[in-house]
Amino acid sequence: NPTCDAMFHCGCTWNWAGGWDECNVHSTDPEVLKCPYCSSPPSVSWITEWGVMFCMVLSYYMVAYGKSLLSCCKQKHNQQAYQFPTSPINLMLRLLIPTCTFFIASMVVGFAFFLNSDYDKFLFYST
């Protein structure tokens, strides 16, 4: 995916544009380092999708329901029905925060993959 290519400059692209067909993980040249995202075993690669997705969903629920959860914890006997916040700022935050969380979580996971591999490129760093 393009996120992988942005982090590791490996050649991956959108699925409809070829996906990982041009990724350096398919290179037969032993001198070419393999992308740590694409060459990770299935027992670890789930973090790149499900771990990041979990962070996005959690951030969405914290924006959408966080204030209500905090007020319910403070007032245990509050019997009022929950009113979903519909202010324009809250609606914007519900879109913006998960998007930012996606990029931050992807970069953290990508950096962990970079540190645990011999790969020589990450974002703007290249050896």
Whether pLDDT at 14 is above 70: yes
Q: Which residues contact 88 (CB under 8 A, 6 or more apart)?
A: none
- Per mean pLDDT, which range of 29-38, 62-71, 86-95 is the poorest? 62-71
Average pLDDT over residues 22-27: 88
Confidence grade of residue 79 (pLDDT, cut at 50, 70, 90) = low
* 124 CB-contact burial (10 Å; exposed 0-12 / middle 13-18 / buried 19+): exposed
Residue with tokens 């962070």: 55
Mean pLDDT of 56-76: 70
pLDDT class of 77 with cuts at 50, 70, 90 = low
> Burial level of 7, CB count in 10 A (0-12/13-18/19+)?
buried
Cα angle, residue 57 at apex, residues 52 and 63 outer, rounded to 5°:
125
Predicted TM-score (pTM) of the model is 0.72
